[in-house]
Structure 1
Amino acid sequence: MSGGYLAYREFALEFPADLRLGLNLGFYRTFAVPSIAAVLAGTGKMVARPKERAKATGTLMFTLIERGMDGPDGRLAVAQLKRTHARLAVGNDEFVYVLAAFCVTPVRWIDAHGRRKTTVGEKRAAHGFYAELGARMGIEGVPDSFDALADWMDDFERRAFAVTPEGRALWGATRGLLAGRFPRPLAPLVRAAADALLDDRLRDALATPRPSAAVRMLLATVLAARARWWRLIASGRGG
């Protein structure tokens, strides 16, 4: 575990903001799976206190990313995830899907909008981290490579994504949180154009209208500016 964990940790350290944003986007994808959306919306906490619930999930994930799964904090985080998921009325495929969404979505985001594309080794590290987490949580059937997991995720979404009141409510409650993942001057623009951050498949499943060409162009400009900003920060660190 240590080698794979360290490689993924280095990846996270190089792309801190992109990874957090990608994890947010991965979490939002789960809203489009009816069985998962029903569970997330069932208690009312995610809709009533989205920022608090998102922070709790993020804290657990970054404890594992930053500290690994073998130390006291990592073992406690895994145990907490196991307890939480043991109570959820969803099948094994849904658990595999959540792992896939957290693994694949950030990598795809970075490849599309980061300051550089990810490497084969970084994809391997991401897959290894989530496959190990799945094994420790008792989740079966996780595909054995990043590409296989990505293909499995796409196929699952084609079969499972559907519009539900719960999914729409979850997206409505949490869409504003995306603005916090961008530099402060860009946040108001992102808040207004949050729906444009979703791909067509997810947008259709959340019954969110396709943004206008003007909004999509504005977002593309914002994302390009963000990538340049992170390249400048990275070059400053290198100097």
Structure 2
Amino acid sequence: MDYTTAHEIVKTTILREFPFMYAFSTQFALIKSYGIASGTKLLVQTRRLTTESKVGKRSEDTGVLLGELLVSGIDSPRGLVALSKMNWIHNQYGSKIGNDELIHTLALFILEPPRWIDAYEWRPLTEIERVALFTYWKEIGNRMGMRDIPDTLAALQRWTADYQAENMRYAETNRMCVTATLNLFVRPLPGFLQPAGKSIMACFLESHVRPTLGLQDPPKLLEAAVGSVFHVRAFCIRHFFLPRFREMNVLGKERAGGKIVRESYMFEPWYVPAGVLDYIRRRVFGVRQVPGPEWMSEGYLPEELGPVEFKLRCKDAVLAEAEEMRKYAEKGGAGVIGCPFRYAA
């Protein structure tokens, strides 16, 4: 299977078959990656994940970037620029991000969604769907300059298990990153419900992972209740819901001038156009988190995603790499000509 064929299968998997569970599982794949202390140490140093005013934008940008890579595709104009921007951001930290750390995060994006889907969805993934996820994400990893990515899905599973056994340990920086992320998840809840919300979130992580993140095991009854809700959902979807006849639209729409606006958001209204109702909510009722200029309601260009301070100075370099990557893709990508891209010196 080549990565272009894999992309078509991946799109069907995440836009028709399991859109909710795929998106949900990738959120927790990121949380699980915080069990590696060498990675969380850098995240804490940058303060982009542990600062309340920045964590929302980082999460929204991550979702937008993944959407461009997985749905637009890494050979599309938007996907090329989005992946080049992600490479540029990683390049700012050079050797502080190890090759194995990147492979581990890549592996979680490949392995966690099938684990969740098999456990909680209306049917398990087929072998073709699993291989497609591996093949497509491996091409993304190649274009990010990762070296020595395992050649098969089974080999990646073994590599990941060995890496976690050796490197997944508790550190205070792990707890800080997880706390900031869970605080973002429960932010919309009243204060007295937020501890319960965090306990529910902990139910979605395996028991051997929680201690590495500084999380306590939730009550067994709560864990069983959460699992039951998902199993009831799966039963209802399998027996009472019609299949989707078209792909879900999760990408933003391009406006004149090339800016892309979103129709929805998860935590903060970045890149969502402001309407009259939003203006009333802001001016009359004092609601802050509604679309407006401070949330870049005019939209985004893929090269502008990421930390605000990088917005202008990276543009030329990102677009130049996107053009190089376009030529590279025309020749067949890593499966044909190897991997010329490296995120670090």
Q: TM-score, normalised by structure 1?
A: 0.89
Match of 1:112 in 2: 119
* Alpha-carbon contact 1:32-1:167 (below 8 Å) kept: yes
Which of 11, 14, 33 is the aligned partner of 2:13? Answer: 11
Q: Secondary structure at the match of 1:201?
A: coil
- Change in Cα spacing, 1:191 to 1:224, as seen in structure 2 (3 Å) is farther
1:114-133 paired onto structure 2 within 5 Å: 114-133=121-140
Which of 16, 38, 48 is the aligned partner of 1:45? Answer: 48
Match of 2:156 in 1: 149
Equivalent position amino acid for 1:145 in 2: T
- Quote the offset at 1:236 in angstroms: 5.5
Equivalent position amino acid for 1:23 in 2: T
Runs (4+) of structure 1 exceeding 6 A deviation are none
* Alpha-carbon contact 1:24-1:178 (below 8 Å) kept: no
CA distance in 1, matches of 2:183, 2:68: 24
Match of 2:303 in 1: none
- Quote the offset at 1:220 in angstroms: 1.5
Deviation sequence 1:79-136 (CA, Å, 0-9, x none): 0111112223121111111110111111111111111101100010000111100111
CA distance in 2, matches of 1:229, 1:123: 24
- Change in Cα spacing, 1:201 to 1:214, as seen in structure 2 (3 Å) is same
* Count of paired positions: 232
Q: Secondary structure at the match of 1:193?
A: helix
Bigger CA radius of gyration: 2
* Alpha-carbon contact 1:179-1:190 (below 8 Å) kept: yes
* Alpha-carbon contact 1:22-1:109 (below 8 Å) kept: yes
Matched, 1:23 2:26: yes
Q: Where do 5+ consecutive residues of structure 2 fail to align?
A: 188-193, 246-345
* Alpha-carbon contact 1:176-1:194 (below 8 Å) kept: no
Equivalent position amino acid for 1:173 in 2: A
Q: Where do 5+ consecutive residues of structure 1 fail to align?
A: 181-186
Which of 66, 84, 88 is the aligned partner of 1:79? Answer: 84
Equivalent position amino acid for 1:116 in 2: R
Q: Secondary structure at the match of 1:79?
A: helix
Q: Secondary structure at the match of 1:45?
A: coil
Matched, 1:163 2:175: no
Match of 2:216 in 1: 209
Q: Secondary structure at the match of 1:8?
A: helix
Deviation sequence 1:1-33 (CA, Å, 0-9, x none): 321111111111121111111111110111110
Match of 1:67 in 2: 72
CA distance in 2, matches of 1:236, 1:93: 39
- Quote the offset at 1:167 in angstroms: 0.9
CA distance in 2, matches of 1:190, 1:172: 12
Query: What RMSD in Å do the two structures reach over aligned CA positions?
Result: 2.2
